[in-house]
Amino acid sequence: MLVTVTLNAAIDRTLTVPNFQRGLRHRASQALTLAGGKGINVARSLKVFGIPVVATGLAGGRTGARVIEELSHESILNDFVRIEGESRTSTAVVDPVTGSHTEINEWGPHVDPDELKNLREKLLSLAADAEWVVFAGTLPRGVDDGFYADAIKDLARRKVRCVLDSEGTALRLGAEAKPYLVSPNQHEAESLVGQEFSDEDDFLMALETIGEMGPRNVLISHEGGCYALLKEERKLRRYRASIARVEPVSPVGSGDVLLAGFLAARRADRSLEEALCQAVGAATASTLETGAGCFDLEQAAEFTRQVEISELEPVVTR
């Protein structure tokens, strides 16, 4: 099975508000409430692909109880550590007329050392039967930036492959811990390497820079596809996976779906190229749905057939 870890779990509320304007009173035409947080979004996507997955992490207060309740309602296996602090609520406002979306995310709970110790023990127990452990999302207050790095090193000693999708210092330290894969989006990758990307050479440079930090594989998602640095049979390969732009309903969580699509394909022993096609196809399908991690499997398969894959040469520096 795969295990996803969400330390900053949330209740995600998505409101569809046509012609949304700041400072005015609106009535939502649609509302959707789901358990959220990046690791949970990945778990939801993996379940659509038929991959056995268990979602774990931290859940606190009434909101945390609601997170677990929503996961159980979706038949997503879960085993969270209950904490005293209140889990967060995140709100997204989607405007189908302008194609805009606005996210408002709470900080989340403060976590004490004993609660974190309980999570580490649970991780070791769950990882005993896991092919991959996916760490995804931000760290709540009270958790050291090195948490992901320490957990990755601990699990590596047990021969468990780890995947990381985070941001900031937690991402940098985690990448240095040599996980199997890191999967930042463009903004997170730009922050990690310290510059904005304006062309393909910038993405290639970022793949090389992040790869030199320690991870075996790197995926950088962006609008319209992804760039990848992947190691197979001791050879590094660089890819661009792209698809024609579609008019999104909501792009929230598409990067989480992209990661899940890649892992699902690799678990099925499909080639790197096939895995990238499935990843981008599923991510594209998810932008046509409200609700992070939600997509139609048949629609994803149709988009998968439209993805173009190019193997790239490394950037020559002078």
Q: Tell me the pLDDT tens digit for each residue of 57-88.
A: 999 999 999 999 999 999 999 999 999 999 99
Q: Which residues contact 50 (CB under 8 A, 6 or more apart)?
A: 264
Q: What is the pLDDT of residue 307?
A: 98
Give the count of beta carbons closer than 10 Å to the beta carbon of residue 194: 8
Q: Show the tokens assigned to 290.
A: 């409200």
Q: Minimal CA–CA distance to 136: which of 305, 297, 6?
A: 6
Position 105 pLDDT exceeds 80: yes
CATH architecture designation of domain 2-312? 3-Layer(aba) Sandwich (3.40)
Torsion of CA 136, 137, 141, 143, to 10 degrees: 20
Tens-digit pLDDT profile for residues 143-156 = 999 999 999 999 99
Q: What's the token pair of residue 228?
A: 């990848």
The per-residue b/e assignment along 114-131, b for 16 or more CB within 10 angstroms, e otherwise, is: ebbeebeebbeebbeebe
Domain ranges of the chain: 2-312
At residue 318 the predicted structure's pLDDT band, cuts being 50, 70 and 90, is low
**CB contact at 8 A, 264 and 300:** no
CA-wise closest residue to 283 among 212, 220, 193, 208: 220
Please list the alpha-helical segments (H only) found in the chain.
38-48, 61-73, 113-127, 147-156, 168-176, 186-193, 200-213, 254-267, 272-286, 297-304
